[in-house]
Structure formats: structure tokens, C-alpha cells
Amino acid sequence: MEIFQQILFVAALAAVAWYITKRIQLISRAIKLGRAENRTDHSDERLKTMLLVAFGQKKMFTNPLVGVMHFIIYAGFIIINLEILEIILDGILGTHRLFAPYITPVYPFLINIFEILAFGVLAVCVVFLCRRFVAKVSRFQPERHREMARWPQADAAIILTAEILLMIAFLTWNASDSVLRDRGVGHYGELQGIVPDFIISQYLKPLFANFSDTALVAYERISWWFHILGILAFAVYVTYSKHLHIALGFPNVYFSDLQPKGEMQNMPEITKEVQLALGLPVTTEMDGSQTNDNGEQPAEIGRFGAKDVQDLKWINLMNAYSCTECGRCTAACPANITGKKLSPRKIMMDTRDRLEEIQQGWKTNGPDYRDDKSLLNDYITAEELNACTTCQACVMACPININPLDIILQLRRYRVMEESQAPASWNAMFSNIENNMAPWKFSPSDRFNWADQVND
């Protein structure tokens, strides 16, 4: 029976590892659809930003209570899963609490820490479920934000419920194991005097007081299997879920834009044409273009701005996969607050949905799959793009440095420069800037006349 369990465990572990590897390869390929851009500069600054924002959750603590709860659920779940190493080795080797005899002084302390964190994760998940479905925090409600209808709501409920069940399984597994140890049943009894009761699960032991030895062993095995298979299933599910940010949050922050938030990147192609027209020398530094690994200038892009995900930068696509759907960007967006259709969260979710659609095409039609859809128009409308004020509120609000504005600007550039679809008011502004060097329709020589009136 023990051999059968070991074989079953190894088979499950191998299947999950294979499937997750395939998913990682597919997601990586999707991200690489984006245009190349160098994000390896200033490594010290990038590392510092990653430690503060991704690990330290710095931007979450603008709301201290929510920040603390999020840190508990994030750090707690990650740290608890350090114990998975022992569980995996127990499953492969057919042992029970493999490390306990070898790190006797430290082992109870570690498990106690894991249990405290497990209880914290359980409690916070309950609070988050209540905030979303009982208190109905505005930014999560599909009635107010259409992108949150159906799957995003179900995804959040699945994840939070799964984490609650996994933590319950962990704590009750420890409790049932402790009762078996007290009774001296089989190999459980061999750890008497080595492994004591644990800080949280000891209070759950009365639940198993009336269990027979056979029933108790059955429950201990079921909870053990549920916990480990649940974690493996969770690892697979995460690759389809918004909780992919658990893995991508760190690299996403590391590669985030280090430029000042109010600075927009010029298009190198346009800058080059302007410099040539003005008779200025064109240099790498002046036109803002990047070089490839060989120090050569990249080939000129086929279009201005972006129409589909292939035209965006690779970091934009990583941003899309990293999005937590927390809605802080949309809650901060002045256009959304005033009733416009723009939702920065929807921009990121639409970009990810488009990438997932392309992935499905690869699976069914091969690696050369093409369709007649595009991110612009089929997913994101002109009305949404034109509502953006480029105020950077969404960029500042994101807890993991996602930049929805960059995608909006690239899509708008395509509409204006490739399709000549700028609103009439924008065209008037462009004309004024070209002729008068200001957005207003008056001569540059009259620009400071208002000062005379102020002095009077």
C-alpha cells in the first residue's frame, strides 16, 4: 500500500511539473510576441524597487489595514509552502515528517510559525470574501465595472475558497497527526517526545477525540493528500488565473519603467524625421532608439503605434499577465470616476484575453496561427482610448508597477497616425501646436499678453 501511494504521488508530481512547464513555455512565447526593448539597465535600482514594491508591498500600505492583510495572505501562503519540500520528500520516499528527527530543536518552531501564518491566511481570505461578496466593495462589482462580470468574480471566489480549504486541511492534518502520535499508533508513535503539539492545531485535537484509530489514520491520510494535491492543482490553476502575479509580480516590478511617471516616450521614427527636417544631427541618444545585443539599430517597425498585441512592447504583455485585477487603477482613474467607459483594469484584462485567444489558436491551428481580430476595436474601443487624460493616476496606483497608460498611448498613436482617426478637437490642437507652437489659436508673439493684463 505504501509503495502504491509513492508511485501515485510521483506520477501526480511529474504530471503537474510537465503541465506547468508547457504552460510556462506558452506564456513565455506569448510575451515574446511583443517588440523588443532593453530593460536590463540600472540593475541596482531595479533590484531595490523589486524588494520594496514586490516583496515589501510598499504601495499596498497606502491603506495600512488592507496592506497588512494582503502581506499576510501573500507572504504567509508563500512561507507556508516551504513545508511542501518535506511533504514532497515524504511522498516520494514513503516517510513521515522526514526532517523532524534531524532538526529536533528547530522543527516545532518552524511548524508553529507555519500554523500561525496558516491561520492568518485563513482569516484574511474570509475577510476578503466578505469584502467582495458581502460588503461589495465598489471596484469589484460587475454592475459598476463590466470587466468584472462572470469569470473574474468566479476566479476570485475559487482562489479564496481554495486557500481557505488548503489551510483547514493543513491545520486539521497536524491535529489528527498529533492525536495519532499521542496514541502511539504505528509510525506516528515513533515521534513521541520528538514532535510536540503545535500552537494552533492543538486546539483542534478535541475534534478527533472520538475517532477510532482506523478512522483517524484515514482522515490524516485524506487531509495530507488533499493538502498536497490541492497545492499542486493550485499551481496549475494559477497559470490560468489573475493570481499568476504570484510568480510574475517580481520580474514585472524588476523590469518596470524607471523613467519619471510624467515622461512620455517619443517615437524614434518621428523624432528622426523632425531632426532631419530641422537639419539636426541624428544620434542614438537624440532619437531615443534602442540597440540590439550586437549594438545595431533595430529594424524600423512596420506601423506607428500599436493595433494588436504584436505591436506592443514585451513588457506591456508581461504587465497584462501580471495584472491582479485589484481595480486600484480604475478606482483612481478620473475618467472612470466621472462615468466614462475607460477602465485601466479592463485595458490590461483585454490585452491578456487577446493573448489567451492567440494561445488557443496556436493549440488548435499550429504555431503560424493568424486571425482577423486585433486588440484595437475587437477588444478596446476608441471611446475608451479617447477618454484617457494621461494623468498617470492608474500607473501610480498599481501595487506592482503595471502601466496601462503605455498601452493606451500606443493604441491611440495607431489611430491618429495610421488611421487618421483623431477627434476634431485633437486635430485643431495638433494644428495649433504645428503653427503656433502652443495648443491655443493665437500667435506666438501674443503669448505673453496676458501678463500685461495681470500687471495692470
Determine which helix (DSSP H) or strand (DSSP E) holds 435, and give its type and residue range. Answer: helix 424-436
Quick count: other Cβ atoms within 10 Å of Cβ 302? 7
In this predicted structure, the answer to whether residue 289 has a pLDDT above a threshold of 60 is: no
pLDDT in tens, 423-433: 888 888 888 88
What is the residue type of 364?
A: T
Distance, in Å, from the CA atom of 160 to the CA atom of 165, rounded to the nearest integer, reads 9
Query: Contact at 8 Å (CB) between 77 and 227?
Result: no
Query: What's this model's pTM, rounded to 2 decimal places?
Result: 0.85
Q: Give the per-residue pLDDT at 286.
A: 40
Task: Give the residue, 371 or 456, on which the prediction is more confident.
Answer: 371
Distance between CA 168 and CA 339 in Å, rounded? 42
What pLDDT does 307 receive? Answer: 95
Query: What's residue 440's pLDDT?
Result: 81
- Note the pLDDT tens digit of each residue in 342-393: 999 999 999 999 999 999 999 888 888 888 899 999 999 999 999 999 999 9
Alpha-carbon span 129 to 115, nearest angstrom: 21
% of the chain residues with pLDDT over 70: 95
pLDDT, position 204? 96
The pLDDT score that the predictor gives to residue 291 is 43
Instruction: Give residue-wise pLDDT tens across range 134-191.
Output: 999 999 999 889 999 889 999 999 999 999 999 999 999 999 999 999 999 999 999 9
Q: Which of 391, 355, 427, 433 is nearest to 419 (CA)?
A: 427
Cα separation of 313 and 327, whole Å?
A: 23
Q: Tell me how far apart the alpha carbons of residues 336 and 384 are, in angstroms, rounded to a whole number.
A: 10
Q: Residue 284 pLDDT more than 60? A: no
* pLDDT tens, position by position, 2-23: 788 889 999 999 999 999 999 9
CB 201 within 8 A of CB 180: no
* Residue found by looking up cell 541596482 in the block: 44
Q: pLDDT tens digits for 303-314?
A: 789 999 999 999
Closest CA to 118 of 216, 181, 204, 41: 204
Write out pLDDT tens, residues 317-343.
999 999 999 999 999 999 999 999 999
Where helices occur in 205-333 by DSSP H, the ranges are: 213-238, 245-254, 268-277, 284-287, 314-322, 328-332
Grid cell at residue 58: 510598499
At 292, the pLDDT band (50, 70, 90 cuts) reads very low
Q: CA-CA distances (angstroms) from residue 361 to 20, 358, 373?
A: 19, 5, 12
What angle (nearest 5°) sits at the alpha carbon of residue 323, between those of residues 302 and 147? 90
Those residues whose C-beta lies under 8 Å from the C-beta of residue 319, and which sit 6 or more positions away, are 252, 348, 351, 402, 403, 404, 407
Closest CA to 245 of 101, 356, 399: 399
Site of grid cell 505591436: 311
Q: pLDDT at residue 27 above 90?
A: yes
The contacts of residue 300 (CB under 8 Å, 6+ apart) are 269
d(CA 258, CA 255): 8
pLDDT band, residue 62 (cuts 50/70/90): confident
d(CA 385, CA 249): 26
Report the number of secondary-structure helices (H) and strands (E) in the chain: 20, 0
Mean pLDDT of 240-269: 85
Looking at domain 301-446, its CATH class is mainly alpha
- Per the CB < 8 A criterion, the answer to whether 188 and 177 are in contact is yes
Q: Average pLDDT of 404-432?
A: 90
Average pLDDT, the chain: 88
Query: Phi then psi for 196, rounded to 5 degrees?
Result: -85, 180
∠ at Cα 305 (301, 309), nearest 5°?
Answer: 85
| 46 has a pLDDT exceeding 90 | yes
